[in-house]
A = this chain, B = another copy of it.
């Protein structure tokens, strides 16, 4: 497998993964392309490389910026914009989780809170089951938040430890 093939495979694999997780295939592909690009790329280059239209390239780059995964770069004396992806995958993962929590989980939590407070007959099995499910979901979200916090702290501590070693 030469570089071109490997690159194509990486991009298409990332696209499939994104698409199975509810992210537009093309957005994931643009992200993949930028992740493995040593230099910032222009809209033109992204279009060319992925064979997509200008509108499509533009929208997806914009979305990636909104997701905090890609940054706009301007160069002195040039009018066109360059795009560079955050390369630290751990940062990328944290950012994706943060955004998805904000966009997709938090609105659900708001609804769940409302549902928990609906006045229902305490003898109504159906309603008891619903309130029970809602509370359980909330507690699992808390567990997940906690686990994520722990993972982040663990990582930070590992970093501090590594730095400390360097100077001891």
Number of interface residues of A (CB under 8 A): 61
Residues of chain B within 8 A of A16, CB atoms compared: 108
Contacting pair B127 A17 (CB below 8 A):
no
Kindly report how many copies of this chain are found in the complex they form together: 2
From residue A133, how far is it (CB to closest CB) to chain B in Å? 5
Flag whether A38 is at the interface (Cβ < 8 A). yes
Flag whether A140 is at the interface (Cβ < 8 A). yes
Contacting pair B38 A129 (CB below 8 A):
yes
Contacting pair B17 A108 (CB below 8 A):
yes
Residue of B nearest to A140 (CB): B89
Q: List 29 A-B contacts (CB under 8 A).
A: A1-B114, A1-B118, A3-B120, A3-B124, A6-B120, A6-B127, A7-B126, A9-B111, A10-B133, A10-B134, A13-B108, A13-B112, A14-B108, A17-B108, A20-B104, A21-B21, A21-B22, A21-B104, A22-B22, A22-B23, A35-B133, A36-B130, A38-B125, A87-B133, A88-B136, A89-B133, A89-B140, A93-B144, A147-B148
Contacting pair B90 A37 (CB below 8 A):
no
Contacting pair A3 B143 (CB below 8 A):
no
Of the candidate stretches A53-61, A65-73, A150-158, the one touching chain B is: A150-158
Residues of chain B within 8 A of A50, CB atoms compared: none
Residues of chain B within 8 A of A159, CB atoms compared: none
Contacting pair B115 A10 (CB below 8 A):
yes
Task: Give the complex CA separation of A134 and B11 in angstroms.
Answer: 11
Residue of B nearest to A94 (CB): B140
